[in-house]
Amino acid sequence: MPEPGRYHISSAVVSIVPGRETEVLSVLPSLPGVELHMTEGSRAVVTIEGRSLREMGDRLTDIAKMDGVVAANMVFEHSEEEEPLA
């Protein structure tokens, strides 16, 4: 049985170029570990989940580099030790 590790979750605000919202919002939920929670105008709030800080940072960088994205800024980050599987 694999050993438990750390599990990370963060939230981020994504600023989108006005007029490109539909395009960007259609891609965000398809990224691994990314969930879209709300949008307001040209901003979106997402959560990113993963097994390492590197994975979280890489995903945030991927979002920030997307065509139509002005910026992606992490707002909150939390990690916990996973419970062992029974």
* Residue 76 three-state SS: strand
pTM: 0.86
Q: Which of 85, 61, 78 is nearest to 7 (CA)?
A: 78
What mean pLDDT value characterizes the chain?
92
Mean pLDDT for 7-26 is: 96
Where are the strands (E) in 1-86, listed by range?
6-16, 34-40, 43-50, 69-81
Mean pLDDT for 33-57 is: 94
* pLDDT higher than 50, residue 27: yes
Q: What is the dihedral of CA 81, 82, 83, 86, to 10 degrees?
A: -150
Residue ranges of domains in the chain, CATH in brackets: 1-49+63-74 (3.30.70.920)
Supply the pLDDT for residue 45.
98
Mean pLDDT for 50-78 is: 94
User: What is the rounded distance in angstroms from the CA atom of residue 42 to the CA atom of residue 7?
Assistant: 30
